[in-house]
Amino acid sequence: MNILILAPKVPYPPIDGGAIATLSLAKSLKNAGNKVTFLAINTSKHKVNIEDIPKELVKELNIKIVEINTKVNLFKAVFNLLFSKLPYNGIRFYNDNYTKVLIKLLKKDNFDLIQLEGLYMSLYLDKIRKNSKAPVVMRAHNVEHIIWKRNYMFESNFIKKKYYKILSKRVLLLEKYITNKLDACVPISQHDYKVFRSLGIKIPMQVAVAGINTEHVNDNLRKINYSNVFFIGALDWIPNQEGLKWFVDKVWPKIYDKYPGKNFHIAGRNAPKWIIKNVKKPGVIYHGEIESARDYMEEYGIMVVPLFAGSGMRIKILEGMAAGITIITTSIGLEGINAKNGEEVLLADDENNFIEKICFVFENHDICRNIGQNATEFIRNNYNNLSIAQELTGFYKSIIK
């Protein structure tokens, strides 16, 4: 098949969950025997020079990028709030320059299928329909309105809370309206599949989980140092920000009081100044953006994912499991991943649970290693990228008329 993928950001370097999930599936679709063309928006937030992308990758996926300004504009945000029913966080990705390049591609090449990476790329649906007869499929990394609904529920600032509530309602309306106009939807988890069906989405759907290349699964857990707690994730994502702030304020001080020789390490890109200021506490070490996530994980060994909002699937959890890391996360953090509590991961949904689990693993390194071994086998057996892409290719062929 000849597949065109439209993405709201350049998936390189693959160091955050969205980029990893997007790039890994695109490469796996190519390896499954498909021809792939990749048209990405080069956003202000994740700006990439195409010269910095490996030439063989650009050639392999026929990567093309269009630079547009997606920065939040206060005037446009207020205007949108007062005079539009569309979510402002979505329309920032709709751009005339991108539309021109897209139409040119559609007229030049005969694509068998067009895959949209996320809800907001569906805003180009009308332009696609006018210029192509190919089925249009949305790969849903999240159920978007749930993210904003949970942000609203956990936000304490009155103005932000009000705005998040409005956004969640607008995103929900868009999600219900536009998804049923597509030819198919590909949720990233069984949980999200059920949510879409509950929203009245009637089009064909196929779950395609985010996968891991099996050669990245760790076969040597002996070099992992289960000595300290760490966090790794995109620090410009609101659920990560709120979860990290909660952990640093509520959980870590009590851990540090009991284990003053331990440290909590934080890594992630695009951290706002308030996050960097907030984490300046005893025993907390802020690394910022790091070169190798795998090396960082193995050096510290115990990963916390304190998520109380969000949707979809946490790619960093899959990466951590593939590395054999001990992971302590919430029920929301584990959504979409069918790992078992106490066997492949550890669950903690409140302050006391987190403290209890962290103290437990500090005192039981052998259990950490057992959990890590179970986690690597779980990833190897359930999240093979090529197998996922082959199944998805079969689904795509079934919807081509």
| Residue bearing the bigger pLDDT, 232 or 238 | 232
- Span 2-211+384-399: which CATH code? 3.40.50.2000
Which pLDDT tens digit goes with each residue over 248-261? 999 999 999 999 99
20: confidence class by pLDDT, cuts 50, 70, 90:
confident
Predicted local confidence at residue 310, as pLDDT? 66
Question: pTM for the full model?
Answer: 0.82
Q: What is the mean pLDDT of residues 195-201?
A: 95
Which pLDDT tens digit goes with each residue over 90-126? 999 999 999 999 999 999 999 999 999 999 999 999 9
Which pLDDT tens digit goes with each residue over 295-350? 999 999 899 999 987 666 788 899 999 999 999 999 999 988 989 999 999 999 99
6, 102 Cβ separation under 8 angstroms: yes
Predicted local confidence at residue 212, as pLDDT? 81
Give SS3 for 339. coil
Q: Is the pLDDT of residue 83 over 80?
A: yes
Dihedral Cα 33, 35, 41, 43, nearest 10 deg: 40
Q: pLDDT over 70 for what percent of the chain?
A: 99
Q: What is the mean pLDDT of residues 162-170?
A: 93
Predicted local confidence at residue 150, as pLDDT? 79
Predicted local confidence at residue 230, as pLDDT? 97
Predicted local confidence at residue 16, as pLDDT? 78
Predicted local confidence at residue 135, as pLDDT? 98
Predicted local confidence at residue 311, as pLDDT? 67
Q: Of the candidates 249, 255, 256, 258, which has an alpha carbon nearest to the alpha carbon of residue 355?
A: 255
Provide the token pair at 274. 């308030």
Start-end of H helices in 215-304 = 238-246, 252-258, 273-278, 293-300
Q: Is the pLDDT of residue 15 over 80?
A: no
245: confidence class by pLDDT, cuts 50, 70, 90:
very high
Q: Do domains 2-211+384-399 and 215-382 have the same CATH topology?
A: yes
Predicted local confidence at residue 147, as pLDDT? 82
Facing residues of 116 across strands? 6, 138
Q: Of the candidates 140, 136, 97, 115, which has an alpha carbon nearest to the alpha carbon of residue 6?
A: 115
Q: If you average pLDDT over every residue of the chain, what do you get?
A: 92
Predicted local confidence at residue 392, as pLDDT? 96
The residue extents of the domains of the chain are: 2-211+384-399, 215-382
Q: Is the pLDDT of residue 396 over 90?
A: yes
CA angle 243, 22, 40 (to 5 degrees): 110
215-382 placed in CATH 3.40.1710.10: no
Q: Is the pLDDT of residue 291 over 80?
A: yes
Predicted local confidence at residue 313, as pLDDT? 75
Predicted local confidence at residue 108, as pLDDT? 94
> DSSP assignment of 157-192, as one string?
SHHHHHHHHHHHHHHHHHHHHHHTTSSEEEESSHHH
